[in-house]
């Protein structure tokens, strides 16, 4: 049956799109986990919903409006959390709930888009079109290239931003560029896992990588590997048992994390200390 699954065009597209998005998220999750940006990720991903709704209302491509909106909200969250004065979790809590509420209010005014709400929130990987693949591939390549070319700079900031600044690195630029990459990736992931579940792909692969390794090189490798296995496993299971594909991918990622958490030779709870 698994062989038959690959004979369908939509499954091939789902697989290619899913792999691209999951590898991109896994790469980004490496920095999200090292820099502890996971809650900012929640804020950004939920805000994309407001951007989608805005696009529907204005009659423009909702993915474009979602990207612009998510980037702006990412910068606003970044600005307020760096400025201090109020705890980061409070500002993010305000941002993500209010931008989501904004989206719900806008969609309630619209007559036509309600049917697709579920797929926006939880993904619809089987509906990925060839044009979507090009978009994911193109934007994903840009984000991937950014992370690859500035890898050591981002790593230095992840380890100790203050020292990186004294070392002459443009830490503000790197921080906001990373948030921008997160916002773009969130929007690219909407069809694969949806707004609510994308956070899982921005955190779990690197959390698995961290469990399995003591050095960042292996952490990165295991992050990418677990992201890849999650999408292959998740898609296969969702096809075989007719399950929601995005959620199944996330559950696979979580399952791999639990295995790593329990049995990692370095950090697992059953590891010899």
Partner 1 sequence: MTATTSAAVELAHISVIYGNHAVLEDITFSVAAGQFVAIIGPNGAGKTTCLKVILGLIPPSSGTVRLFGLEPAETIKKRHAIGYVPQRSVLERNLPFSVMDVVLLGRVGAMGPLKWFSKKDRADAEKNLQRVELLDCADRPINELSGGQLQRAMIARALSCGDPKLLVLDEPTIGVDIPHQLGLYEVLVNLKKEMGLTILVVSHDLAMISNYADEMVCLNRTMHVHGNSCDVLHSHGVEAAYRCEFDRLFGAGKGGQPC
Binder of partner 1 out of 47, 213, 236, 264 (CB under 8 A): 213
Question: Which of the stretches 86-94, 112-120, 166-174, 179-187 binds partner 1 when contact is defined by CB under 8 A?
Answer: 166-174
Q: For the window 76-115, what string marks contact with partner 1 as x by the rule CB under 8 A?
A: ----------------------------------------
- 177 touching partner 1, by CB under 8 A: no
Binder of partner 1 out of 160, 173, 263, 269 (CB under 8 A): 160
8-state DSSP, 103: H
Whether residue 42 contacts residue 96, with contact meaning beta carbons closer than 8 Å, is answered with yes
- Please tell me the distance from the alpha carbon of residue 215 to that of residue 235, in angstroms, as a whole number: 30
Q: Residue 268 contacts by C-beta under 8 Å, 6 or more apart in sequence? A: 211, 260, 261, 262
- Please tell me the distance from the alpha carbon of residue 2 to that of residue 183, in angstroms, as a whole number: 34
- 168 touching partner 1, by CB under 8 A: yes
Closer residue to partner 1, CB minimum distance, 130 or 163: 163
- 149 touching partner 1, by CB under 8 A: yes
CB < 8 Å & 24+ apart, contacts of 83-88: 88/39, 88/40
- 200 touching partner 1, by CB under 8 A: no
Whether residue 12 contacts residue 46, with contact meaning beta carbons closer than 8 Å, is answered with no
Closer residue to partner 1, CB minimum distance, 175 or 239: 175
Contacts with partner 1 by CB under 8 A lie at 34, 149-150, 152-153, 155-156, 158-160, 162-169, 210, 213-216, 218-219
């Amino acid at each position: 049956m698994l062989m038959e699954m690959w004979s369908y065009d939509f499954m091939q597209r789902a697989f290619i799109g899913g792999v691209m998005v999951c590898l991109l998220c896994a790469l980004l999750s490496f920095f999200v986990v090292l820099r502890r940006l996971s809650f900012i990720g929640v804020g950004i991903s939920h805000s994309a919903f407001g951007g989608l709704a805005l696009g529907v209302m204005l009659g423009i491509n909702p993915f474009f409006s979602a990207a612009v909106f998510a980037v702006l909200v990412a910068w606003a969250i970044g600005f307020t959390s760096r400025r201090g004065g109020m705890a980061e979790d409070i500002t993010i809590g305000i941002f993500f709930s209010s931008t989501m509420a904004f989206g719900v209010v806008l969609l309630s005014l619209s007559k036509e888009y309600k049917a697709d709400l579920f797929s926006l929130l939880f993904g619809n990987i089987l509906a990925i079109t060839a044009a979507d693949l090009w978009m994911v591939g193109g934007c994903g390549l840009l984000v991937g290239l950014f992370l690859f070319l500035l890898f050591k700079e981002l790593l230095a900031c992840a380890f100790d931003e203050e020292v990186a600044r004294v070392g002459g690195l443009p830490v503000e630029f790197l921080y906001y560029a990373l948030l921008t990459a997160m916002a773009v990736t969130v929007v690219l992931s909407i069809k694969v896992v949806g707004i609510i579940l994308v956070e899982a792909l921005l955190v779990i692969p690197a959390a698995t990588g961290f469990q399995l390794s003591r050095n960042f090189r292996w952490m990165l490798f295991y992050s990418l590997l677990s992201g890849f296995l999650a999408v292959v496993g998740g898609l296969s299971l969702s096809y075989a048992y007719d399950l929601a594909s995005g959620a199944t991918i996330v559950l696979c990622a979580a399952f791999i994390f639990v295995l790593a958490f329990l049995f990692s030779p370095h950090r697992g709870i059953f590891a010899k200390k």
